[in-house]
A = this chain, B = another copy of it.
Amino acid sequence: MTNCQETAAQPADLIARHAPLLDRAIAATETREAWSPFRDSPSSKIHGAEKPAAGKAAFAARRDTRFTIDQPGITGWVGAEVSPFTQQPLGITYPRSDPQALIAAAQAAQPAWAAADPELRLALCVEIAQRMYDRNFEMAHAVMHVAGQSYTQAFSGSGPNALDRGIEALAYAARAMRAVSPDGTYHRDFAGQPVALEKRFTLVPRGLGLVICCASFPTWNAYPSMFASLATGNPVIVKPHPIAILPMALVVETARAVLAEFGFDPNLVTLAADTPEAPVAGAFVADPAVQIIDFTGSPRYGSHLEQTVVGKLLYTETAGVNSVVVESVDDLDDAARAIARASCLFSAQMCTSPQVIYVPREGIATAAGHAGFDTVAQAIVAQVDAIADQPAQAAGIMGAVQGQVSLDVVTDATAEAARRDLRVLRPAAPYDHPDFPEARTMTPLILAVTPAEVDLYAEERFGPVLYIVAADSGEAAVAEATELARTRGTISCYLYSTDAAFLDAAEPRYLAAGANLSINLTGAMWINFAAAYSDYHVTGLNPAGNACLTDLAFVASRFRIVQNRRPARVEIAAQ
């Protein structure tokens, strides 16, 4: 037994330990069934009383301190996060490192990582995911107080639901890498002469991965992006949004600890914290060593990258305009409740939040008879009110508004509505958060408009603003919704109809627009919930992003194959 074996964690054990989970995840990506190794409820019945308290305390202990990460090239400490719930600074600062130092450190760390067994890289990523799950109560408070998500949403959506997407990326990475045999023998006659070759095929990573995270839901795409690059052998530099650094700092901290524990250079994962005044992403994007860029964030910067990055892999998710078409329903209240809940969730600050609701101006059929446009619109307003008027429920669903900019969106939309003399179906107003009296809250503004106002609603309004559009007909609604999807992008579209023929005609239009579609969803599941392993998130076919998170295409290009071949050794037994 060597010293090494005594002191370092055992790779073979780790691979064996996580193999069943990875195999189960692969099976789920094949069947698209519901599955998760995690529990996404924060209930202390599941987790015990201790973990929730410990997580809250861990977050509290971070306040007004430096978040130490022992990475190279630290030139200062930055951080100006403000809690949307207290509107007070968190007081946490993070190392700002010289980009060249992080790049050089990642390059130095890469050879050993590239040479490691791909199965070990996969297992280490699973281990990171499980450690993040272990500290998920801390993560929940971190996400709450930088992004504004409610406690339960931060726990589930930024925890297990996001971790599952990371493991889903690992499942695809495993499938893509295992598709390459490490060796092969080749026997063929050439001109009557037998030729026997031994061939070896080595997976070679592309280079450094840069993961640029969004502000409102940082872990959601960061896990799949990080794990897709890491598992395929590429170091990762994490560039968090400057107003939401803490969640990604926790991830970087955990990843580095796991890597170091298993004898790898922790600089395989580093944090590139910056400030709005001195953004650093461009320095990484421009560096030839950075070969893979995963971007989640504004359409403005995403589109800049899409139009300028050449010779590198670029995966983007930006934003679009998600629509609902209500053509006919069984139960109006059920549909209205589903739409209202999706519109209220996280105050419409989600990539899947609906913004435009098309209702035929002549009204719709319901099981209870005809419902006019106003009846449908008022049903939606009533369901929003039902949430907004109960502060405990509003707090659990809407959480807080992350930034003043989203309040400005509401103010501007209200002013523009007044200028155009639009019908305000529901004015926006703050709700009183039961736990955080200073919380930046805002319940949805709901406006009734006609297609003449398309310039207003066809642009993403990142905040709680909802347009109910009086469409000429159900068909016209689908035509406009899909045109919006095609030209402005969409992550998720919603359609309500009880008419099978109408649905049959509508579905190909959504398909042609590259729009994922949820049909007639009501009930307990959020209609804008995207389940890892089961739902494909983002099609890559419209301006809302160029990639799917995740599918084989999301991982298959992150590594290359280099071969060598030589004469096969003589098989003496076969003579």
Contact = CB atoms under 8 A, between A and B. Distances in A.
A563 B187 CA distance: 44
A300 to B, nearest CB: 16
B199 A523 contact: no
Interface in A494-533: 507, 510-511, 514-526, 531
A282 interface: no
A313 to B, nearest CB: 10
A560 interface: yes
Interface string A75-118: 00000000000000000000000000000000000000000000
A486 to B, nearest CB: 12
Interface string A420-453: 0000000000000000000000000000000000
Interface stretch (A52-60, A384-392, A399-407, A539-547): A539-547
Nearest to A551: B561
A184 B567 CA distance: 47
Interface stretch (A10-18, A244-252, A303-311): A303-311
A175 B341 CA distance: 40
A553 interface: yes
Contacts of A557: 553, 556-557
Interface stretch (A27-35, A215-223, A268-276, A368-376): A27-35
Interface string A177-190: 00111011111111
A548 interface: yes
A566 B520 contact: yes
A308 B307 CA distance: 9
B519 A188 contact: no
B521 A567 contact: yes
B31 A181 contact: yes
Contact of A541 (B184, B524, B562, B564): B562
A548 B562 CA distance: 10
Given A514-B204, A552-B556, A184 B519 contact: no
Interface string A129-167: 000000000000000000000000000000000000000
A560 B550 CA distance: 11
Interface string A199-236: 10110101000000000000000000000000000000
Instruction: Tell me the number of copies of this protein.
Output: 2
A488 B14 CA distance: 41
B311 A534 contact: no
A552 B556 CA distance: 6
Given A32-B181, A179-B175, A524-B193, A564 B187 contact: no
A514 B187 contact: no
Contacts of A201: 32, 536
A289 to B, nearest CB: 14
Given A32-B199, A195-B523, A521-B565, A309 B310 contact: yes
A181 B27 CA distance: 11
Contacts of A560: 514, 539-541, 548, 553
Contacts of A310: 306-310
A393 to B, nearest CB: 13
A188 B552 contact: no
A518 B199 CA distance: 9
A33 B187 contact: yes
A541 B313 CA distance: 13
Nearest to A537: B563
A188 B311 contact: no
Contact of A32 (B32, B33, B184, B567): B184
A475 interface: no
B510 A564 contact: yes
Nearest to A517: B564
A279 to B, nearest CB: 21
A573 interface: no
A69 interface: no
Given A32-B186, A186-B534, A311-B546, 11 more contacts: A31-B181, A32-B183, A34-B186, A188-B531, A197-B521, A514-B562, A518-B566, A522-B567, A541-B560, A551-B561, A556-B556
Which 9 residue pairs of A and B lie closest in terms of their CB atoms, listed nearest first? A32-B184, A193-B524, A190-B524, A519-B566, A34-B188, A517-B564, A553-B556, A553-B557, A556-B556
9 contacts: A33-B187, A34-B188, A189-B524, A206-B541, A507-B564, A510-B562, A510-B564, A514-B562, A541-B562
